[in-house]
Amino acid sequence: MSADKVPISGADRARLQRAALERLLAKEQLGGGARTIPSRKEGSRAPASYSQELLWLLDQSTPDLSAYNGPVARRLRGAVDSAALERALALLVARHEALRTTFHPGTEGPTQSVEPVVDFRLARDDLSGLAGSAREDALAARMAAEARRRFDLQKDLLLRATLYTLGDSESVLQLVSHHIVMDGWSLGVLFRELSALYAALRSGGSTELPALPISFGDYAAWQRDSATGAAVSAHLTFWRGVLSGELPVLELPTDRPRPMTQGFAGNTARRVIAPAIIEELKRLAQAQGSSLYMVLVAAYQSLLHRWRGQDDIIVGSPAAGRPVRETEGLVGYFNNPLLIRSRFEDDPSFAALLASVRESCLGAYEHQALPFELLVMELQKSQRPSHAPLFRAVLTMQETHAKDLELPGISISAMPIEHGSVKFDLTLLTSEHEDGLHFDLEYRTDLFEAATADRFLGHLATLLAAVAADPSQRISSLPLLTPAEHSQQAAWNDTARELGAPATMAAMITAAANGRIGQVAVQSGAVSLGWDDLMTRAAQLSHQLQSVRVGPEQTVGLCADRSVDLIVGMVGILLSGAAYVPLLPDQPTARLKQQLDASGAKWIVTLAAHRGLLPDGASIICLDTDAAMLAEGPRTPPPCRATPESLAYVLVTSGSPGVPKGVGCLVYTYTSPRDGLLCRMPASELKK
């Protein structure tokens, strides 16, 4: 049976799922299996967690950094009690220490300072005086500016709220927090509790919420104290295995050169995948004993592999990072990036890749308790290339069933905010909705154009539809192009043209000259030659060549610098029916003789300045010193006995393997000169 086939029986699938569940339930935490986090001493200052320390260092080293601002907005339709909303937010800030925390340098790293009481205010911005598109444009601009406004981690309250009034019964609530105190899970906690507090304040009910067993500071202190011993060693051993060997650095083809320093300016491209495709992908996931998330990881990595041609791909994916139950109701920054690494050397089928991704994900979940920052430090300690943060592409599957904001009597809908900042080269945010799977691709604008991001999502949609239809396809054979790109490619490849009857090059030049009397035919720097003069001089040369019995299938050397004389010689030889042999005047005489011998040329058309360089024995016509003799010939071309199958010119090989050889070339048709010019040459003499 092919290794690419990954059949799983019902019994095997159940066994694998039970084993995975048991591993996840029994996983060893950093605290040696401890399930309770002790409260720190009252009044003691907690250290920053490992994740917070990384953001602190980044903030200190990057002025005006706003990429780690987390803006969210909800459009509210209905009468909002702004006083109750402000009071509910103030109660939340009082409840969660993380929202009253500032960060300060310490002897062993940054520390958290929690303000016991803060005066939280809901900012208000009345836009009701504007109407229509002007109001929406002003709203978008102000929300974007607020989203980008930098936090001072040592001074500012790290949660801001603004209520934009659009009319009597329409407003927008915008919350902006710093990632150092708020993650995606925390937003669900905040919305759930804000909904309950607002409803209680409006109805006169109790605003008492269940007491929090610990604070985020307790967790941070516990994490620091627990990051030693056998548990950490076991996690490190696993991740060392995942990251063994040369670590890949994703170098996607970019629209602009990669800057020397990390850029954070960004934008977002969006696309929706139809529900029917999603159902097929879910069936594929179920058949493979995996999940939709794992299918998306495999597809994302496959597309990165195809775009880059890189056989080793690491993608980052955040985990909730809440190791014990006491942390589930806290607002704080718990996210811990997991690394999913896949290899494509053997060009696996998508089904085989999905099986590998499934095992990688299960292993990563089992060992997610190790702080990512400890892993980076371990790699640096071992002096192995880490290229921190080890990945440039991220995939996040957002929980759409998490608690959203609910206010009594008010219809609420989410609003996107384009705040122009990103953290990585590419971040794919996925979320499932009734109308399908939503993809938001955040991309660095100093690397990628908007059209490139749109094309990436189009290719991902095509790839997902293909694997939903047939997951046994090899990764290399999965289609990527969208229908529009197929049409564009077909148009590019439709090069069929009516060329007409075959004609000689001489005939085509003669036809091009007709009707162009007075127009410039050849231009070389400041020197130009009209069509009438060109054809007259070329005709006189052709008559002279025919008078010495030069004709079809015979060759004539052409030795001249790049000039109008060079073109006169070329056209004159062609009009005689013979083929020309280009000879460079700066070549040694011996080399010129080899070329003449190899091509069989007995006559040479040249200029007096080059006559002394030519080998003995050749018959020579000089365009300049023989001009008087040439001028005695007719001014119109003679009959040309050449056919479309006759030689047009002969190139002589370098002779590096031995004796130089002449290569004959046929020219069947000739495109009419563009803009009336047969040839344009630079002012400087180019030699090739």
Mean pLDDT value across residues 100-104: 95
Nearest to 161 by CA among 63, 68, 77, 92: 92
Nearest to 126 by CA among 169, 167, 77: 167
Residue type, 409: G
Q: How confident is the model at residue 658 (pLDDT cuts 50, 70, 90)?
A: low
Q: Which pLDDT score is estimated for 445? A: 95
Residue 595 vs residues 511, 621, 686: alpha-carbon distances, Å: 32, 18, 21
Q: Which of 13-27, 269-283, 404-418 has the highest mean pLDDT?
A: 269-283
Strands of 38-118 (E only): list them.
Answer: 69-77, 101-104, 111-114
Q: How confident is the model at residue 681 (pLDDT cuts 50, 70, 90)?
A: low
Q: How confident is the model at residue 261 (pLDDT cuts 50, 70, 90)?
A: confident
pLDDT in tens, 563-604: 999 999 999 999 999 999 999 998 899 889 988 888 889 999
Mean pLDDT value across residues 287-315: 95
Residue 570 vs residues 314, 539, 566, 648: alpha-carbon distances, Å: 59, 11, 6, 10
Average confidence score pLDDT of the chain: 86
| Rounded-to-integer distance, Cα 228 and Cα 597, Å | 84
Nearest to 583 by CA among 620, 625, 552: 620
Mean pLDDT value across residues 245-261: 90
Q: Report CA 655 to chain centroid distance, whole Å.
A: 46
Q: Are 296 and 278 in contact (CB under 8 A)?
A: no
Q: How confident is the model at residue 673 (pLDDT cuts 50, 70, 90)?
A: very low
Q: Which of 101-110, 268-277, 619-628, 644-653 has the lowest mean pLDDT?
A: 644-653
| Rounded-to-integer distance, Cα 267 and Cα 14, Å | 43
Nearest to 644 by CA among 445, 521, 530, 500: 500
**Quick count: other Cβ atoms within 10 Å of Cβ 677?**
15
Evaluate if residue 238 carries a pLDDT over 60.
yes
| Phi, psi of 276, rounded to the nearest 5 degrees | -60, -40
pLDDT in tens, 175-209: 999 999 999 899 999 999 999 999 999 999 999 99
pLDDT in tens, 512-565: 888 787 899 999 888 899 999 999 999 999 999 999 999 998 999 999 998 999
Buried/exposed code over 210-234 (b: 16+ C-beta within 10 A; e: otherwise): eebbbbbbbbbbbbbebbeeebbee
Q: Model-level pTM?
A: 0.70
| Rounded-to-integer distance, Cα 625 and Cα 623, Å | 6
pLDDT in tens, 319-344: 888 888 889 999 999 988 899 999 99
| Rounded-to-integer distance, Cα 564 and Cα 528, Å | 7
What is the number of residues in the chain?
Answer: 688
Between 667 and 476, the higher pLDDT residue: 476
